[in-house]
Amino acid sequence: MKSFDAIVIGGGQAGPFLAARMVEKGMKVALIERKFLGGTCVNAGCMPTKTLVASARAAYVARNGAVYGVNIPGEIAIDMKVVRARAETVTMNARNGLIGWFAGMDGMTVIYGHARFEDPKTVSVNGETLTAPRIFLNVGARAVIPDLPGINDIDYLTSTSIIHLDTLPRHLAVIGGSYIGLEFAQMYRRFGAEVSVIEHGPKLASREDEDISDAIADVLRSEGIDIHTGVSDIAFARSSDAITVATDSARIDASHVLIATGRKPNTDDLGLDAAGVITDKHGYITVDDKLATNVEGIWALGDCNGHGAFTHTSYNDFEIAAANLLDGDDRKVSSRILAYALYIDPPLGRVGMTEKQARASGRKIMISTRPMSRVGRANERGETKGFMKVIADAETKKILGAAILGIEGDEVIHGIIDAMNAGTTYPALQWSVPIHPTVSELIPTLLGDLKPA
């Protein structure tokens, strides 16, 4: 049996950085990863997909160059092999950077294999047994595959496998109208494929307010994406040259099917029962406000704990754990203000409560909206789709939440994120003097238009 000061299971965006901090403190750490360092973000999520989004935007801008007086003769062609290779290069550069970083750390042992608990202090991997007083789980999540008629008869894609395509689908059917599915839908439409989105719920991006969801649908429809919501029945059938996707309202002859119906934690094969670690009904590991499980000496970080399925929340889990365990701090998950983005074009930046959540809280609220068509930067760039929205507490004057669906919305939202984290009231933020011409310069104007709602 090999002994360590700590064992980290999973090489995502929390565990490895915590491992590095512990090594800096002179600890002996084992980092166990079953496949690739970097987790979903580096290998199948943010980095490759946003690289693909950039290629898709380049194609879109080239096709629309004449609007700006830039005439490109001939048809805009897409080389999917180059597109794929570019995304793979970005992934490999990041992955190899992590490999090299950890290789240079005295006290860090990286083990590739599938770890399972033997007891609360012991795990087995590759036939070896390791023990440590502290064990951290950062095992991530994977795509959920729904039990739909005929699904096992087709070669479907997931968000992991689709990034390896080096040919253009004739017609991509996206099953699921949430964030992952919508990004791939617009991306492949811009590459030149016909695209249909099929969503069980009544609207796209179900987490968002209805006005945001409607605007997202308008953006996608304007680019020729076929959207079906409120679909109650879906079945698949394979023919010689197509996949038939039959719903209660339509029949789609697709060449490829992307299953984007959500993700589930990778916790079902860790031997958690042997350690006594509790999970909820969805398989997420139950943790307290400091990310500790019910078993002393075991923590769960990142996607597997159900407190945020984002790279930035996973990294923040590392920051919380490191601050509390290594720096004598007292940081809590409940102090985190959730923010995220949807990387369609234009992007959606989101922070805090939706309007629906704010109303349900019983607060007296104020709301302001502003169309992007009234934003100078958006008009100058010829990108006026979307709108801004902010919700505030009428009594405390604190900002409760905001959504910016529009050009640079994923960047502009950070002005509001920072204000909310600093506890700044909206009247104080109104007196900032932003740079012109930017999208951010409209934040004080947006706040100045807040009215009781």
Q: Give CA torsion, residues 367, 372, 377, 382, to 10 deg.
A: 170
pLDDT for res 117 = 98
- Establish whether domains 2-141+264-335 and 339-452 are of one fold: no
Average pLDDT for runs of 10 along the chain of length 453: 97 96 98 96 96 98 96 94 98 96 95 98 98 98 96 96 97 98 98 98 97 98 98 93 93 97 97 98 98 98 95 97 97 97 98 98 98 97 98 98 98 98 96 95 97 96
| Rg (the chain; Cα; Å) | 24
Report in angstroms the alpha-carbon separations of 415 from 140, 418, 421, 432, 448: 30, 5, 10, 11, 15
Of 11, 316, 23, 35, give the one whose Cα is nearest residue 136.
11
Which among 195, 178, 217, 164 is positioned nearest to 52, based on CA atoms? 164
User: Which residues are registered as beta bridge partners of 352?
Assistant: 401
3-class DSSP assignment, residue 268: coil
Report pLDDT for 163. Answer: 97
CATH class of 2-141+264-335: alpha beta
CATH level 3 topology of 151-261: FAD/NAD(P)-binding domain (3.50.50)
User: Cα separation of 238 and 233, whole Å?
Assistant: 17
Each residue's pLDDT tens digit, 202-247? 999 999 999 999 999 999 999 999 999 999 999 999 988 899 999 9
Whether the CA torsion 24, 30, 36, 40 is positive or negative: it is: negative
Q: Which whole-number Å values give the CA distances from 364 to 221, 300, 398, in the listed order?
A: 35, 37, 11
Quickly count: other Cβ atoms within 10 Å of residue 238's Cβ.
12
DSSP conformation letters of 7-26: EEE--SSSHHHHHHHHHHTT
CA distances from 79 to 166, 170, 191, 316 (A): 8, 14, 9, 38
Identify the CATH assignment for 339-452 out of 3.30.470.20, 1.20.1250.20, 3.40.50.720, 3.30.390.30: 3.30.390.30
Alpha helices in 249-310 (DSSP H): 272-275
What are the start-end ranges of the H helices in 250-371? Answer: 272-275, 311-326, 355-360
Q: How many CB atoms lie within 10 A of CB 278?
A: 13
Residues 267 and 300: their CA atoms lie apart, in Å, by: 10
What is the pTM (predicted TM-score) of this model?
A: 0.96
Q: Where are the alpha helices (H) located in 266-408, listed in sequence order? A: 272-275, 311-326, 355-360, 376-381
Please state, in angstroms and rounded to a whole number, the distance separating the CA atoms of residues 131 and 139: 18
Q: Could you tell me which of 172, 131, 382, 192 has the C-alpha nearest to residue 258?
A: 172
**Alpha-carbon torsion 258, 261, 262, 264, what sign?**
negative
How far is residue 120's CA from residue 129's CA, in Å, rounded to a whole number? Answer: 13
Identify whether 73 is preceded by a cis peptide bond (ω within 30 of 0): no
| Rounded distance between C-alpha atoms, residue 119 and residue 207, angstroms | 39
Which uninterrupted H or E stretch holds 298?
A: strand 298-300
What's the pLDDT at 240? 82
Structural domain boundaries of the chain?
2-141+264-335, 151-261, 339-452
Residues 6+ apart with CB under 8 A from 283: 264, 265, 267, 268
Confidence at residue 251, expressed as pLDDT on a 0 to 100 scale = 94
Interval 104-153: pLDDT, tens: 999 999 999 999 999 999 999 999 999 999 999 999 999 999 999 999 99
Could you tell me which residues are beta bridge partners of residue 348? 342, 405
Find, among 236, 241, 216, the residue nearest to 227 by Cα: 216
